[in-house]
Amino acid sequence: DFVALSAHKMAGPTGIGALLATDEALSQCGPFLTGGQMIRSVSTEGSRYRDGAALLETGTPRIAEAIGWGAAVDWLSKIDFEKMHDHIKHLAITASNGMKEIDGIRVFSDPMRPESSGTISFLHERITSDDMALLLDEGGFAIRTGQHCAQPLMDALGVLSTNRISLWLYNTEEEVKSFLSHLRMICERFGQ
């Protein structure tokens, strides 16, 4: 009945998204917040709200973000997605294989799976995920650390958190090799 979209997952700005819903699903929704365009009328006896999607659109819309998201969608519409997928898959395989060769690194992702993306979760057996993130940051590599909105999975894996790299269209093989070199240096220096 619903599909949620996040602009920043589509090369767009943060702070904006979309919710697609069937008319039937929308008819069952009540107001979450009030104000702005979602009000049909206000009197001393109460308020009447608009129907459909307008019911969920309160306050001033995020105009600049919407324009930015539109530009991102225009840019994405010109991308050869098959070529992009092949590029990301190649980078992910290179990164995953390289990480598996480093002592102490456990890789949780399998980029060979057809449904895999460019995200690779990993953990060092003796370096905490937070420390790893800080050490990689010092080398110029921004990664995510934590439970990645998947605490039940972390519990099933028997870990508190993992590190995650996310590879995409703009990443290069040289960057992956540089990342692996820096990761190897960290593990040799701090993981013993």
Q: Which residues are catalytic?
A: 149
**Whether the Cβ atoms of residue 95 and residue 165 lie closer than 8 Å to each other:** yes
**Whether the Cβ atoms of residue 4 and residue 21 lie closer than 8 Å to each other:** no
In whole angstroms, give the CA distance from residue 107 to residue 192.
18
Q: Where are the beta strands (DSSP E) in 24-172?
A: 39-43, 46-49, 105-107, 119-124, 144-146, 162-166
**Whether the Cβ atoms of residue 124 and residue 191 lie closer than 8 Å to each other:** yes
- Identity (one letter) of the amino acid at 187? C
